[in-house]
A = this chain, B = another copy of it.
Amino acid sequence: MNEQQLDLVFLALANSSRRLLLDLIAARPGCTLSQLQAEFSISRIGLMKHLQVLLDAGLVMAQKQGRERPLYFNPVPLQQIHQRWGDQYRDFWASQLLRLKAAVEQPDHTTTELTKDLL
């Protein structure tokens, strides 16, 4: 997943209407936009634009069938982010613990700025 795709996914999540829309689609696979319309206070076109953002981010899949367009949540992008960022934080905590260990093992270990930030 490249930087551009990350931009799209995070941007898609950075709006509460879109998060609600995504939640509803995940909860009701195969539903259509007009079925979800009642849950929102914005116009249908506004909602359709939000949907387009989710589609661009790959968070929702759509397949037109007749005059309807059933929608499906695609968890893959979020799983990828979840994994990658999870690893990153694990690394961060590991390195911070090393720093803390080093700080504590100093002869003079008054509470430094760094350890204050940690404890």
Give residues in A with beta carbon < 8 Å to B.
3-4, 6-7, 10-11, 13-16, 19, 26, 29-30, 61, 63, 70, 72-73, 75, 78-79, 82, 85-86, 88-89, 92-93, 96, 99, 113-114, 117
Instruction: Report how many copies the assembly holds.
Output: 2
CA distance A57 to B62 in the complex (A): 32
CB pair B82 A85 closer than 8 Å:
yes
CB pair A89 B82 closer than 8 Å:
yes
Residues of B with C-beta under 8 A to A4: 16
CB pair B117 A92 closer than 8 Å:
no
CA distance A19 to B75 in the complex (A): 22
CA distance A35 to B48 in the complex (A): 44
Which secondary structure dominates chain A's binding surface?
helix
Which residue from B3, B14, B26 sits with its C-beta under 8 Å from A11? Answer: B14
Could you list 7 further interchain pairs (A-B, Cβ under 8 angstroms) beyond the known A6-B16, A86-B86? A4-B16, A6-B13, A11-B14, A14-B14, A29-B99, A30-B114, A75-B92
CA distance A99 to B92 in the complex (A): 38
